[in-house]
């Protein structure tokens, strides 16, 4: 039986159970969250890896760059987990060319974590990893004729609780793809979490309650990141709305965020996809605003009452008396 048919049967079997649990208010966390305010309790990663509790780790790289042929967007999310004596790993990989549209890349899906690695990103048959995020890392895929070289990561935001670590960063990067060498930027996200049940990690998209993540590059090599979601276990660590901005190598965490989605488009189900955003905030240089529109969306998964998609967006950012073009990726989970 092929993977898509297995996924469909799993969804049809599980959906009624999930709906009943949503109505009943089921908690899909395998343990008591106990999340505390930032700095109130820090997670001992070494002890957590050696301990008996389930562990989930994620490294997410979102690259935006451009050359004389136009923009290219590339994203790879590497997840791995340990539950008992079972070690898993999987990757979600996306590539978009401004002229060609979405490009098929091999390497998405689960693969064997033969070395039982959690802190390091496990190599897969399609992607190999050299170096470390903090000192510079290279992601290489000979099968896809692709290589992403990322400079040492600059931390932009971090939060630690008794059961989770969440941090964001950005850095200059270069994507070598086929015969092209494309300069750009990477926005990076790291998550380390204890006690996440298999139910939650498998179907968490149904409970994200309209997650929207924007990974944008400004026209002058700056970064803009924004995430917005309603209350979930993730948001107890990350907050329901978070954003940062990097201009002229200066980082700001956005304050007084106001996020509007004035337009949505139809989906094949009982929900709608965001298609435009209007964002305002307050920073060191006063008020700022962002306006972006989806130009190309790729639907990945559909649960009929929700779904998962990636989109390419473009628009304008106004801040500090200057207007800048922005281009990037949007991750959407309904």
The 10s digit of each residue's pLDDT in 100-109 is: 999 999 999 9
Q: Band the pLDDT of 267: cuts 50, 70, 90.
A: confident
Token pair 């300069």: residue: 183
pLDDT of residue 237: 67
Region 247-259: what's the mean pLDDT? 95
pLDDT of residue 233: 58
High-pLDDT (> 70) share of the chain, %: 81
Say yes or no to pLDDT of 288 above 70.
Answer: yes
pLDDT of residue 146: 98
pLDDT of residue 32: 29
pLDDT of residue 162: 87
pLDDT of residue 202: 46
Say yes or no to pLDDT of 275 above 50.
Answer: yes
The 8-class DSSP code of residue 18 comes to H
Return the number of other C-beta atoms located less than 10 Å from residue 262's C-beta.
Answer: 10
pLDDT of residue 269: 85
Q: Band the pLDDT of 221: cuts 50, 70, 90.
A: very high
Region 119-142: what's the mean pLDDT? 97
Concatenating the DSSP letter of every residue in 186-244 gives EEEEEEEEESB-HHHHHHGGGGSSSEEEEEEEETTS-EEEEEE--SSHHHHHH-SEEEE
Q: How many residues does this entry show for the chain?
A: 334
- The CATH H-level (homologous superfamily) assignment of domain 1-26+198-334 is AttH-like domain (2.40.370.10)
For CA atoms 166, 170, 171, 175, give the dihedral sign.
positive
For the chain, give every domain's residue range. Answer: 1-26+198-334, 31-196
Higher pLDDT, 19 or 180: 180
Mean pLDDT score of the chain: 85
pLDDT of residue 232: 58
Region 208-216: what's the mean pLDDT? 86
High-pLDDT (> 90) share of the chain, %: 72
Task: Tell me which residue of 173, 182, 174, 165 sits closest to 237, measured CA to CA.
Answer: 165
Distance CA 130, CA 121 (A): 9
Say yes or no to pLDDT of 19 above 50.
Answer: no
Q: Are 240 and 230 in contact (CB under 8 A)?
A: yes
Region 258-278: what's the mean pLDDT? 93
3-class DSSP state of 95? strand
Higher pLDDT, 195 or 222: 222
pLDDT of residue 292: 98
For CA atoms 203, 205, 208, 209, give the dihedral sign.
negative
CATH code of the domain made up of 31-196: 2.40.370
1-26+198-334 shares its CATH topology with 31-196: yes
pTM for this predicted structure: 0.85
Our CA dihedral for 190, 329, 238, 153, rounded to 10 degrees, sits at: 40
Say yes or no to pLDDT of 93 above 60.
Answer: yes
Q: Band the pLDDT of 209: cuts 50, 70, 90.
A: low
Contacts of 158 (CB under 8 A, 6+ apart): 165, 166, 167, 168
pLDDT of residue 85: 92
pLDDT of residue 198: 56
């Amino acid at each position: 039986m092929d993977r898509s048919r297995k996924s469909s049967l799993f969804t049809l079997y599980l959906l009624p159970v999930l709906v009943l649990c949503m109505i009943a208010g089921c908690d899909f966390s395998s343990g008591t969250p106990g999340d505390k305010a930032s700095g109130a309790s820090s997670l001992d990663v070494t002890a957590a890896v050696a301990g008996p509790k389930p562990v989930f780790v994620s490294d997410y790289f979102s690259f935006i760059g451009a050359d004389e042929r136009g923009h290219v967007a590339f994203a790879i999310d590497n997840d791995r987990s340990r539950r008992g004596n079972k070690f898993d790993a999987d990757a979600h990989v996306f590539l978009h060319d401004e002229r060609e549209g979405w490009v098929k890349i091999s390497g998405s899906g689960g693969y064997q974590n033969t070395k039982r690695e959690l802190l390091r990103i496990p190599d897969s048959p399609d992607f190999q990893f050299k170096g470390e995020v903090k000192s510079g890392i290279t992601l290489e895929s000979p099968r896809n004729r692709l290589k992403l070289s990322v400079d040492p990561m600059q931390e932009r935001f971090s939060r630690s609780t008794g059961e989770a670590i969440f941090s964001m960063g950005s850095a200059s990067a270069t994507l070598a793809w086929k015969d092209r060498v494309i300069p750009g930027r990477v926005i990076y996200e790291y998550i380390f979490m204890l006690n996440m049940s298999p139910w939650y990690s498998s179907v968490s998209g149904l409970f994200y309650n309209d997650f929207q993540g924007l990974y944008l590059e400004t026209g002058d090599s700056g970064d803009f990141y924004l995430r917005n979601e309603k209350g979930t276990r993730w948001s107890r660590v990350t907050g329901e709305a978070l954003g940062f901005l990097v201009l002229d190598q200066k980082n700001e965490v956005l304050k007084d965020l106001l996020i509007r989605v004035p337009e949505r488009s139809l989906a094949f189900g009982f929900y709608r996809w965001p298609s435009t955003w209007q964002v305002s905030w307050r920073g060191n240089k006063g008020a700022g605003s962002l306006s972006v529109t989806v130009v190309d969306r790729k639907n990945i998964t559909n649960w009929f009452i929700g779904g998962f998609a990636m989109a390419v967006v473009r628009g304008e950012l106004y801040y500090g008396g200057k207007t800048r073009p922005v281009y990037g990726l949007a991750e959407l989970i309904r």
